[in-house]
Amino acid sequence: MHKRPVAQVRRMGNQNGFAIADAVAATAMLTIGIFAAFYSMERGIQSARYCHQRQAALEAVQSELEVARATSLEELTVRERAPFNSSPEGLASMPGARPWLTVEQYGDGTADLRKVTAGVDWLTREGRRNRVQLVTLVGPREVYR
């Protein structure tokens, strides 16, 4: 029979030990990489959802300001955080969204102007508060012939 030298047997034993340590390290790195990929995907989904919500809120606010611009000054009465005059469609996908409209007399009263502020407040699924608001001035409409 052929016998192996003792030095070779010890070296093989050390290689087996390194193989287990390498496997544990590779598994740990692979696990961290998988978790990082899932975390990145989740953050991307959250970002896309927020962008969609912000766009819907912005469209609703712009639409309400157009309604206010089309309203006569007599009908555009002073109010504070009142509900929208129109019913925004895009906010249905945003639970807890609160559209609001504020109308104020603008300036010192010498000009017949109204400052109209429209906004939407909402919470994301993560509980973060958000707001979109726009402001415009509305004055009397002149009829030109």
Ordered by start, the domain boundaries in the chain are 6-138
Largest CA distance in the chain: 118
For 1-145, list the strands marked E by DSSP: 79-82, 98-105, 114-123, 129-138
At 106-142, the pLDDT tens digits run 888 777 899 999 999 999 888 889 999 999 999 887 7
Q: What is the pLDDT of residues 82-115, one digit of tens each?
A: 999 887 888 887 878 999 999 999 888 777 899 9
DSSP 3-state of 139: coil
**pTM to 2 decimals?**
0.71
108: its two tokens: 């010192």
Closest CA to 81 of 65, 106, 101, 61: 101
What rounded mean pLDDT belongs to the chain? 85
Measured distance CA(74)–CA(71) in Å, rounded: 8
